[in-house]
Amino acid sequence: MDQTKTRKKLIEVALPLDAINAASAREKSIRHGHPSTLHLWWARRPLAAARAVLFAQLVDDPSDLPEEFPTEEEQKKERDRLFEIIEELVLWENTTNEIVLEKARAEIRKSWRRTCADNCNHPRAAELFDPEKLPAFHDPFAGGGAIPLEAQRLGLESYASDLNPVAVLINKAMIEIPPKFGELYTLLRKIQPVVGNPLSVVTNRRSSRCANFHCASFRIPCDGQEGNVFVGKYYYVLSTCA
Ligand SMILES: C[S@@+](CC[C@H](N)C(=O)[O-])C[C@H]1O[C@@H](n2cnc3c(N)ncnc32)[C@H](O)[C@@H]1O
């Protein structure tokens, strides 16, 4: 018997469809920075719709929170507040706006903590309902990857799989590889005061392999050893420690 207690989610009650539709339609004309510019995918879902739908599936609807919102009027006011978050969240300009994203993530965490409290007596509560750890997300038919990408953006540990190897490659490029470069980005910010603008060091070629790519290499500390950093105009590649 399933002993899990769940509250009604926002998506089961209402969504600000006009805002989601408008943002989804507008995305079709975005030609810079959108995953559609990475690779063609036939049934690609708009990022705005994926982001809104994920948010609304993870956040409780106020009608099922009588202890916090006892009257219909209070419930509507709270729902309107959540709609405002969605309306901001779906805008293309806010795709990397950490203030807007963090507001949405905070609502998701709040609903998750409520779920954990509701299920604290569940026989597997310690494993399944840790208020400090959001559940991981898996899209087994990920295709162009819009849904796992947005799940990751909303703070979930995200997994994608697909029968089609092209889809797997797209998802690797969007969901698996970029987070690894977060560390490299931090590292490059640290070395920037030393090397200055990457363009200014282009002539400092130290290996033929590197020269082919028209970039410079540096030896820098890496996990207690030394590693090569290759710096170019449009890309940064970190070799293994050696
Ligand atoms: C409609 S697409 C998914 C679109 C995706 N949600 C997006 O946003 O781009 C369905 C995907 O399911 C995959 N698929 C179909 N049968 C599958 C199976 N048995 N196992 C894994 N993936 C499968 C297809 O390769 C296709 O990429």
Residues in the chain: 242
pLDDT computed for residue 158 by the predictor: 95
Average pLDDT by stretches of 10, the chain with 242 residues: 86 98 92 80 91 98 97 98 98 94 98 97 94 96 95 96 93 85 62 51 37 51 62 46 42
Q: Measured between alpha carbons, how far is 212 from 121 in angstroms, rounded to an integer?
A: 62
Backbone angles phi, psi at 208, to 5 degrees: -65, -35
pLDDT computed for residue 233 by the predictor: 47
pLDDT computed for residue 211 by the predictor: 37
The pick from 51, 163, 166 for probing ligand 1's pocket by mutation, whose C-beta has the most ligand atoms within 8 angstroms, reads 163
pLDDT computed for residue 77 by the predictor: 98
Sheet holding 225-231, edge to edge: 216-222, 225-231, 236-241
176 CA → ligand 1 middle, Å: 18
Atom nearest to 143 CA in ligand 1: 27
- Report which of 57, 67, 72 is spatially closest to residue 117, judged by C-alpha positions: 67
- Report which of 192, 221, 228 is spatially closest to residue 207, judged by C-alpha positions: 228
Maximum Cα–Cα distance across the chain = 72
pLDDT computed for residue 57 by the predictor: 98
pLDDT computed for residue 226 by the predictor: 65
Backbone angles phi, psi at 219, to 5 degrees: -100, 125
- Torsion angle (degrees, nearest 10) of CA 44, 27, 83, 61: 0
147 CA → ligand 1 middle, Å: 12
The pick from 40, 44, 139, 141 for probing ligand 1's pocket by mutation, whose C-beta has the most ligand atoms within 8 angstroms, reads 141
0.75 exceeded by pTM: yes
Q: Measured between alpha carbons, how far is 129 from 34 in angstroms, rounded to an integer?
A: 35
